[in-house]
């Protein structure tokens, strides 16, 4: 049996087996603070591209898969609203219907933001939530790509 002398002035992270636990905790804290907690990148905004599939029938909305933005957004007040702006790419004749992710009482909910032939914007309730903004779009015509910012 090996006895280790413990100097009370030394940091706990410097003692034997605890080095690995402390290193793991430090690494996980860095990852959480880097990827989950928004920093100055949050102030710069976020953007993404959503796919609007071709319409099956003119009167039936066929929404594409949810498209995630490239950054998280965080509300600092309970009445915070997130504004989405979108623009249809290309010169194809169609109408785009847009749904955006928002939060009501802490639960996610999809909100209709309206229809437009080229571009539009709208805001959704967000509250004190940290999450990745998402958008779903449908097309009345040939389909296509829609770029968005938030």
Instruction: Answer whether CATH 2.60.120 is correct for domain 40-149.
Output: yes
Q: What percent of the chain has pLDDT over 70?
A: 67
pLDDT of residue 7: 52
pLDDT digits (tens, 9 = 90+) for 6-65: 555 555 544 555 455 555 545 444 444 344 444 434 445 689 999 989 887 766 778 999
- Global model pTM greater than 0.75: no
The ranges assigned to domains in the chain are 9-38, 40-149
Q: Do 72 and 36 form a contact (C-beta atoms < 8 A)?
A: yes
Q: Which of 71, 93, 112, 96 is nearest to 146 (CA)?
A: 96
| Cα R_g (the chain), whole angstroms | 23
């Amino acid at each position: 049996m090996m006895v280790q002398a413990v100097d009370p002035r030394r940091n706990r992270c410097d003692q034997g087996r605890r080095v690995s636990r402390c290193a793991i905790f430090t690494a996980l804290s860095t990852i959480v603070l880097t990827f989950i907690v928004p920093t100055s990148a949050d102030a710069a905004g976020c953007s993404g591209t959503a796919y609007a599939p071709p319409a099956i029938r003119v009167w039936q909305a066929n929404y594409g898969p949810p498209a995630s933005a490239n950054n998280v957004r965080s509300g600092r007040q309970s009445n915070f609203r997130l504004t989405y702006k979108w623009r249809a790419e290309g010169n194809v004749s169609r109408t785009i219907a847009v749904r955006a992710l928002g939060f009501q009482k802490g639960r996610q909910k999809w909100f209709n933001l309206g229809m437009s032939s080229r571009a539009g914007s709208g805001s959704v309730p967000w509250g004190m939530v940290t999450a990745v903004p998402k958008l779903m779009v449908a097309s009345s015509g040939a389909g296509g790509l829609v770029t968005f910012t938030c």
